[in-house]
Amino acid sequence: MTDCIFCKLANGEIPTNIVYEDEVVTAFLDTSQVTEGHTLIVPKKHLKDIYDYDIKDSGAIFRRIPIVVQALQAALPDMQGVNILNNNGEVAYQSVFHSHIHLIPRYSRDGDDFKVVMPDNGDQYTDEDLAKLAQRIHEKVEV
């Protein structure tokens, strides 16, 4: 895709702070630096979002996550954890429509300034509701 900023970054057309690169992905520091070391893993192949992935794409791309996370951990000795985030679609706050994975190192100093909050809506579903939902999804699984 000729006008995609992440295609240009991942393929070296625009300079960036690369931390890892191979034939499948480019990983570079996010300019927003939510926390020190915030890195994006970007496929070189233009994939809009997770819905564009096939099994081969996902295996190739997600296999690179531990490589980069382990490098972050080695380079940032006070890193105590990591959030791995992948937003898909506007409603999920995807802002660049080229798939990318955020690796956000976490530190005790982060405090409450940054946290991922997921509400617990478990009380809205009975065991029967969950069984029906699981079955509905299971029926749509294609391998």
Distance CA 18, CA 67 (A): 14
Identify whether the C-beta of residue 116 lies closer than 8 Å to the C-beta of residue 99: no
Identify whether the C-beta of residue 143 lies closer than 8 Å to the C-beta of residue 56: no
pLDDT in tens, 62-72: 999 999 999 99
User: DSSP E strands: which ranges in the chain?
Assistant: 18-21, 25-29, 39-43, 81-85, 101-106
Q: Each residue of 47-65: b (16+ CB within 10 Å) or e?
A: bbbbeebeeebeebbeebb
State the average pLDDT over residues 13-34.
96
Q: Which residues are catalytic?
A: 100
Mean model confidence pLDDT for the chain: 94
Q: Assign 115 a pLDDT band (cuts: 50, 70, 90).
A: confident
Question: 5-117: what fold?
Answer: HIT family, subunit A (3.30.428)
26: β partners: 21, 42
Distance CA 112, CA 100 (A): 25
Identify whether the C-beta of residue 99 lies closer than 8 Å to the C-beta of residue 52: yes
pLDDT in tens, 43-62: 999 999 999 999 999 999 99
Domain boundaries, the chain: 5-117
Is the model's pLDDT at 30 over the cut of 70? yes
